[in-house]
């Protein structure tokens, strides 16, 4: 029997604005939240040794990246794949992800992960923001 477990945080108190966001989008990135999350991303410049903001990849650019490399994402919801592409660009590109074809495959691997719970990409980001003490103005994300 395939039974879905309840998340362990189901009874945690949430800001009412987060609850409103979740009613509209579930645990997925809409455009505003994706843009906000990506705006916080930084990458270490190996030439200078300094942290720099990344040049964000738009939805159109991510779609182009996937199409150019023959990668089709099957289980995407809203802007989750755009967030993943930018996160990989900030943290792994030109390191463990050598080039654009592998970046496209990484996006597919994360989004189409067959055993990941629904909404895992945003849940992981939210946990990171909570741990970092980074506030999210949820009412502005609707």
Question: What per-residue string of b and e applies to 63-95 under the rule 16 or more CB within 10 Å gives b?
Answer: eebbeebebebeebbbbbbbbbbbbbbbeebee
Domain membership of residue 38 (yes or no) is: yes
- pTM of the entire predicted model: 0.91
Domain membership of residue 19 (yes or no) is: no
Query: Residues 25-82: pLDDT tens digits?
Result: 999 999 999 999 999 999 998 889 999 999 999 999 999 999 999 999 999 999 999 9
Instruction: Output DSSP code: residue 56.
Output: P
Q: Please, are residues 122 and 91 in contact by the beta-carbon 8 Å criterion?
A: no
Structural domain boundaries, residue 130: 24-45+53-136
Query: Residues 74-86: pLDDT tens digits?
Result: 999 999 999 999 9
Number of domains in the chain: 1
pLDDT of residue 109: 98
At residue 4 the predicted structure's pLDDT band, cuts being 50, 70 and 90, is low
Q: How far is CA 35 from the centre of its chain?
A: 10
Domain membership of residue 118 (yes or no) is: yes
Query: What's the maximum distance between 2 C-alpha atoms anywhere in the chain?
Result: 54
Domain membership of residue 81 (yes or no) is: yes
Domain membership of residue 6 (yes or no) is: no
CA-to-CA distance for 39 and 69, rounded, in angstroms? 26
pLDDT at 1 over 80: no
Domain membership of residue 95 (yes or no) is: yes
Q: What percent of the chain has pLDDT over 90?
A: 84
Domain membership of residue 9 (yes or no) is: no
Domain membership of residue 7 (yes or no) is: no
């Amino acid at each position: 029997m395939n039974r879905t477990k309840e998340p362990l945080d189901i009874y945690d108190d949430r800001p009412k604005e987060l609850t409103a966001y979740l009613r509209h989008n579930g645990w997925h990135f809409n455009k505003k939240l994706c843009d906000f999350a990506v705006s916080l991303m930084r990458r270490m410049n190996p030439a200078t040794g300094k942290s720099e903001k990344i040049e964000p990849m738009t939805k159109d650019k991510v779609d182009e990246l996937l199409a150019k490399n023959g990668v089709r994402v099957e289980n995407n919801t809203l802007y989750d794949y755009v967030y993943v592409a930018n996160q990989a660009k900030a943290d792994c590109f030109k390191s463990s992800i050598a080039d654009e074809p592998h970046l496209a495959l990484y996006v597919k691997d994360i989004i189409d992960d067959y055993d990941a719970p629904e909404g895992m990409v945003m849940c992981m980001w939210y946990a990171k923001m909570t741990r970092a003490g980074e506030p999210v103005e949820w009412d502005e994300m609707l």
